[in-house]
């Protein structure tokens, strides 16, 4: 009887064992959520910027899940890894996140830190994960033929400098009025800070203004010598390339030396509430460029408020930061994440996608005025048209001015002279290709 029972049970036991072995494979092969890695900086010297920025990203991703059911039915999931904005911690986070989570692969990596972007650039190429930077990163990576995995979207450093010059020309009454004007670039003395030296020299040569470059030693907490020199130069305009404590100290010191705040223009990383509030009354009139203006009147902000903030699901702890420049920067980055994934699904189906697939989505990302309106992001997001040859895809910023209490947008989209700047990018990318032994790909052929 025992032998008969064993013979009868044997097929059932074998089938059960086989099913048990197959179940993990089936689950791993069909992840139900699209994973998004978030290397955040909520502690450290730049935490005041990181907290609202990542709050904006997460609130937008939550909005997509809550209001839209995800992307074509694919819900989003994410995890944070604290970097403190530093390269070493950023590399650790990248290594922890690059393989995805719960069976879902990592589709891209937004380091949101210049040092981290530089540190993981080669790793992302090896791992076939697109590296996306917005308003920072490697300017030469605009050339996708040589940097196929690197996307400095919207406004690289060269475009920022050109947009500033174009805005100054508007205020002076035309480009011909720039001749003989003295424009000082006061930049943080770091590799990213030095990125605009070549572009400002080229713009000065074309328009005839006097280009003066003055470095500010980081962290920038003492700038008396810098602004004494700017005062002696009798500068007409100052382009401030700051970050962190450097910016409010620059604003206060500039005004102390008699330089008018409304002729001081900050770059993207000197354009937040965190930059002007510590400067107090000195900041009134201060100008700055941004690809994502502050404000709560954008339709997408109202939608997030309805579906996320008012339902108690917001990641933002301080409600006063809702609609701030860095919160809106987070929302903008969330939009780009989602639209890159949506574009990728057009080719690969309504499913979870990996890094190699999302590289195609990013390189074919096009967001026109009609789509921006449909997203509720008119005035917040510029049109994007990324191609193999152009991994920036934008090149515009808006100018905002601080009135002592809040930012006011004082320009439409100011677009860089990208045709003039392109030879600088091509030369830099070609030098990199030679150094690394890279053969530029033929952009007429699919990747």
CA pair distance 401, 384, nearest whole angstrom? 25
Q: Express each pLDDT in 369-407 by its tens digit.
A: 999 999 999 999 999 999 999 999 999 999 999 999 999
* CA angle in degrees (0–180, nearest 5) for 322-323-327: 75
**Dmax (CA) of the chain:** 107
Report the top-level CATH class of 158-290. Answer: alpha beta
CB neighbour list of residue 8: distance below 8 Å, 6 or more residues apart = none
DSSP class of residue 439? P
Domain 29-155+294-385 and domain 158-290, same fold? Reply is yes
Candidates 3.40.50.2300, 2.70.98.50, 3.40.50.450, 3.40.228.10; CATH matching 29-155+294-385: 3.40.50.2300
pLDDT category, 5, cuts 50, 70, 90?
Answer: very low
Q: What is the per-residue pLDDT for 29? A: 54
CA pair distance 169, 173, nearest whole angstrom? 6
Q: Is the pLDDT of residue 181 over 80?
A: yes
Q: Is the pLDDT of residue 292 over 90?
A: yes
Q: Is the pLDDT of residue 79 over 70?
A: yes
More confident residue, 28 or 213: 213
Q: Express each pLDDT in 408-436 by its tens digit.
A: 999 999 999 999 999 999 999 999 999 99
CA pair distance 155, 144, nearest whole angstrom? 15
Q: What is the separation, in whole angstroms, between the first and last Cα of the chain?
A: 66
Q: Flag the least confident range among 55-64, 198-207, 436-445.
A: 436-445
Distance of CA 267 to the CA centre of its chain: 14
Q: What is the per-residue pLDDT for 113? A: 95
Q: What number is the average pLDDT over the span 53-67?
A: 98
Q: Express each pLDDT in 83-121 by its tens digit.
A: 999 999 999 999 999 999 999 999 999 999 999 999 999
Q: Is the pLDDT of residue 345 over 90?
A: yes
pLDDT category, 25, cuts 50, 70, 90?
Answer: very low
Q: Where are the domains of the chain?
A: 29-155+294-385, 158-290
Quote the pTM value.
0.91
Alpha-carbon torsion, ordered 76, 319, 332, 269, to 10 deg: -130
Q: What is the per-residue pLDDT for 6? A: 46
DSSP class of residue 308? I
Q: Is the pLDDT of residue 26 over 80?
A: no
Mean pLDDT taken over the chain: 94
């Amino acid at each position: 009887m025992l032998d008969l029972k064993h013979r009868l049970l044997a097929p059932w036991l074998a089938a059960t064992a086989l099913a048990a072995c197959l179940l993990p494979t089936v689950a791993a092969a069909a992840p139900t959520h699209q994973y998004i890695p978030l290397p955040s900086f909520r502690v450290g010297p730049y935490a005041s910027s990181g907290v609202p920025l990542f709050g904006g990203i997460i609130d937008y991703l939550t909005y997509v899940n809550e209001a839209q059911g995800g992307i074509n039915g694919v819900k989003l999931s994410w995890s944070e890894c604290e970097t403190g904005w530093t390269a070493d911690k950023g590399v650790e986070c990248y290594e922890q996140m690059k393989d995805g989570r719960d069976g879902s692969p990592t589709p891209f990596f937004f380091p949101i830190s210049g040092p981290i972007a530089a540190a993981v650039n080669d790793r992302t190429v090896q791992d076939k994960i697109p590296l996306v930077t917005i308003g920072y990163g490697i300017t030469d990576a605009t050339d996708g033929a040589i940097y196929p995995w690197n996307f400095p979207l919207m406004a690289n450093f060269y475009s920022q400098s050109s947009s500033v010059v174009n805005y100054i020309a508007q205020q002076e009454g035309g480009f011909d009025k720039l001749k003989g004007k003295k424009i000082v670039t006061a930049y943080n003395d770091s590799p990213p800070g030095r990125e605009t030296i070549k572009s400002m020299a080229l713009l000065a040569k074309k328009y005839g203004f006097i280009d003066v470059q003055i470095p500010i030693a980081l962290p920038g907490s003492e700038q008396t010598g810098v602004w004494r020199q700017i005062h002696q130069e009798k500068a007409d305009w100052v382009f401030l390339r700051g970050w962190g404590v450097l910016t409010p100290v620059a604003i206060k010191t500039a005004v102390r030396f008699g330089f008018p705040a409304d002729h001081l223009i900050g770059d993207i990383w000197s354009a937040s509430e965190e930059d002007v509030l510590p400067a107090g009354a000195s900041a009134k009139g201060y100008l700055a460029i941004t690809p994502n203006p502050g404000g709560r009147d954008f339709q997408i902000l109202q939608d997030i408020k309805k579906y996320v903030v008012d339902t108690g699901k917001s990641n933002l702890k301080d409600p006063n930061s809702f609609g701030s420049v860095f919160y809106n920067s987070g929302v903008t980055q969330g939009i780009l994440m989602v639209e890159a994934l949506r574009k990728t699904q057009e080719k690969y189906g309504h499913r979870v996608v990996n890094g190699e697939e999302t590289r195609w989505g990013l390189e074919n990302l096009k967001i026109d005025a009609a789509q921006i309106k449909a997203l509720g992001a008119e005035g917040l997001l510029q049109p994007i048209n990324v191609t193999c040859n152009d991994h920036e895809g934008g090149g515009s910023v808006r100018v905002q001015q601080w009135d002592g209490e809040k930012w006011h947008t004082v320009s439409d989209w100011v677009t860089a002279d990208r045709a003039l700047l392109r030879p600088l990018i091509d030369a830099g990318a070609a030098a990199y290709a030679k150094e690394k032994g890279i053969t530029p790909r033929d952009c007429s052929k699919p990747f």
